[in-house]
Copies of this chain bind each other. A is one copy, B any other.
């Protein structure tokens, strides 16, 4: 268990909490460590959504199946990441999706009530965890909103303008590097890689921007 404390310290849910207080906090939260084999379900669709999990080791997939049986991987969560936190916090009764171990997984499960119900001993770190939880949910919110903003544009060129403008603003300059390769950017924007290259090429011809690999420079119209 000891070595996992290192992991937990990096987990955003425990940000700002002194390492020496972690054990106290974990017992206060009744956190339990569980191990799962490859392809084993951690949460099944229909389970009560009263728990959330932290991946300590390994990788899990959040998966969903539609009416006709088509299976989709919604997200992949690796070491330090959370799963089930949105359903627990939203106070949803039943999970509409499953969480499955992609490989051997060590995970920490926490009952959500233990987080929001103030504990009898009124530990001071408890309120810190709640604030972290708020920050995590809100940040994910913003990330999701941005992504929708980008991918809901009609054409690839518009998606690119939206994404690149956002990056320029984020990095405070019209010249910047993006954190994606072409293939990754294409996946993020839900478009074909070669079609994306084609559009970038066109936009450069039109004088909207210059680029090389992952380095971009947006240019004002003259």
Contact = CB atoms under 8 A, between A and B. Distances in A.
A152 B151 contact: yes
A201 interface: no
A100 to B, nearest CB: 17
Interface string A157-171: 000011011101110
Name A's interface SS.
helix
A76 interface: no
Contacts of A70: 161
A148 B144 contact: yes
Contact of A138 (B90, B127, B145): B90
Pick the most buried of A67, A88, A127: most chain B CB atoms within 10 A of its CB.
A67
Interface stretch (A22-30, A53-61, A128-136): A128-136
Contact of A149 (B74, B138, B149, B165): B74
A121 interface: no
Contacts of A119: none
